[in-house]
């Protein structure tokens, strides 16, 4: 794998007028926080984008560990969260399989269990910084988190049902159902990624089973953007083509090649979002914040989809000179690096 380098500039403010402007902005930012950080049961106060369904963003000041605790992990839901009775829960496996199955939670618990540390990022993370503005939740930089996911391999579950080796796609449905104008959340993925040994049907997240994050059974697609990580999975359907529901088409597509900002792409120029690009985020000091004169530590994390972060460089002079950052978490594929 090629080494990946992530960079981020942090410009120091020098002149008085700029400093004054930044103080005003900091005061305004503080007010926004005070009004916006709302406690929902099971969560620390979070930046609230919607309350039903819950769309919660992690305030940057909570990011200080390799694993993001469940109580400060961002939440994204298109449709109000379903209530699942774990005793009655069944996972339906149909389509191109020789042994269609209805698996209980106990059936999934009996399979060999694997743990993967992986970063989950919403496609819309950072949308508030887009210029021109685009519709959708105006996430700042807190629609991302890193957790340890544990459960059987999706590939093992598919083999149990006798998956047809000529199937090339698989469709997933979550227990949430359409509400008014919002269609059902159904997603498809190429079979190759489904059979990857790190693709799991997670039964826990950091040792917990939070309903808000899709448990009892949640799909883990390491290195791919959050849209593929279907929560409350109730159906697996191998086939030979991707589904064509709203959340596959036109939803969740990117232009195949760069277009000038604000230029609408033609449908033929769009493709399904899969992997996550290399990215980094400074979590401290926060933008526009004040610090006493002297040395300050700059902290953050970088991630690169299916690849491991090799090196991170930081510039404090607008990009003229770059310094190697000290990396304080292991070099792993799928997971961010502090
Ligand atoms: N069933 C279902 N799964 C879903 C969604 C959803 O609305 N319904 N949202 C997706 C999106 S867009 C993201 S970014 C992640 C968010 O996961 P989280 O809420 O655990 O952070 O879940 C994905 N899985
Ligand atoms: Mo998302």
Does ligand 1 lie within 6 Å of residue 74's CB atom? Answer: yes
Q: Is the pLDDT of residue 240 over 70?
A: yes
Q: For ligand 1, is residue 120 a contact (CB within 6 Å)?
A: yes
Q: Ligand 1 pocket, 230 CB below 6 A?
A: yes
| Residue to mutate, 122, 182, 274, ligand 1, most ligand atoms under 8 Å from C-beta | 122
Asked whether 308 and 331 are in contact (CB, 8 A), the reply is: yes
Q: Kindly state if the Cβ of 76 falls inside 6 Å of ligand 1.
A: yes
**Spatial separation of the C-alpha atoms in residues 98 and 103, rounded to whole Å:** 15
Q: How far is the CA of 242 from the centre of ligand 2 (A)?
A: 19
Which of 177-186, 217-226, 249-258, 272-281 has the highest mean predicted lDDT (pLDDT)? 217-226
* pLDDT mean over 184-189: 91
Residue 252 Cα to ligand 2 midpoint, Å, equals 9
Report yes or no on whether pTM surpasses 0.85: yes
Question: Is pLDDT of 226 > 60?
Answer: yes
pLDDT at 153 over 80: yes
Q: What is the pLDDT of residue 53?
A: 87
Q: Report pLDDT digits (tens) over 90-105.
A: 999 999 999 999 999 9
| For the CA of 79, the nearest atom of ligand 1 | 7
CA distance 220 to 201: 6
pLDDT for the residue numbered 235: 97
Residue 186 sits at the vertex; the CA angle it makes with 226 and 107, to the nearest 5 degrees, is: 85
User: Which strands, in side-by-side order, build the sheet including 204-205?
Assistant: 114-121, 144-151, 204-205
Q: Strand pairing partners for 280? A: 302
Pairing verdict, β 101-103 and 270-272: unpaired
Cis before 237? omega within 30: no
* Mean pLDDT of the residues in the chain: 88
pLDDT value of residue 12: 29
78 lines ligand 1 (CB under 6 A): yes
- 115 CB neighbour count, 10 Å cutoff: 12
Alpha carbon distance 229, 244 (integer Å): 17
Residue carrying structure tokens 């919403």: 122
For the stretch 296-337, pLDDT in tens is 999 999 999 999 999 999 999 999 999 999 999 999 999 999
What pLDDT score was predicted for residue 198? 98
């Amino acid at each position: 794998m090629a080494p990946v380098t992530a960079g981020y500039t942090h410009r120091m403010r020098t002149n008085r007028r700029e400093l004054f402007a930044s103080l005003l902005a900091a005061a305004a930012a503080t007010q926004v926080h005070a009004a916006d950080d709302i406690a929902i049961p099971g969560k620390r106060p979070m930046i609230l984008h919607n309350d039903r369904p819950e769309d919660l963003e992690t305030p940057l000041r909570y990011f200080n560990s390799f694993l993001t605790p469940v109580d400060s992990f961002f939440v994204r839901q298109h449709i109000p969260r379903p209530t699942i009775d774990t005793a009655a829960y069944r996972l339906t496996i149909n389509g191109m399989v020789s042994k269609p199955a209805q698996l209980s939670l106990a059936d999934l618990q009996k399979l060999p269990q694997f743990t993967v540390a992986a970063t989950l990022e919403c496609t819309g993370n950072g949308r508030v910084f887009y210029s021109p503005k685009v519709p959708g939740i105006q996430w700042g930089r807190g629609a991302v988190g890193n957790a340890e996911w544990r459960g059987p391999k999706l590939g093992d579950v598919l083999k149990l049902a006798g998956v047809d080796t000529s199937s090339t796609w698989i469709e997933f449905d979550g227990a949430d159902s359409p509400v008014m104008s919002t269609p059902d959340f159904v997603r498809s993925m190429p079979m190759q990624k489904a059979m990857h040994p790190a693709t799991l049907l997670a039964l826990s997240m950091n040792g917990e089973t939070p309903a808000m994050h899709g448990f009892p059974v949640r799909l883990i697609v390491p290195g791919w953007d959050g849209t593929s990580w279907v929560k409350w999975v109730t159906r697996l359907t191998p086939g030979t083509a991707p589904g064509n529901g709203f959340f596959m088409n036109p939803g969740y597509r990117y232009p195949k090649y760069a277009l000038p900002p604000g230029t609408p792409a033609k449908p033929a120029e769009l493709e399904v979002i899969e992997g996550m690009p290399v990215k980094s985020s400074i979590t401290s000091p926060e933008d526009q914040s004040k610090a006493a004169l002297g040395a300050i530590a700059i902290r953050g994390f970088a991630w690169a989809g299916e690849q491991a972060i090799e090196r991170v460089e930081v510039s404090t002079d607008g990009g003229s000179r770059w310094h190697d950052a000290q990396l304080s978490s292991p070099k792993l594929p799928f997971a961010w690096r502090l």
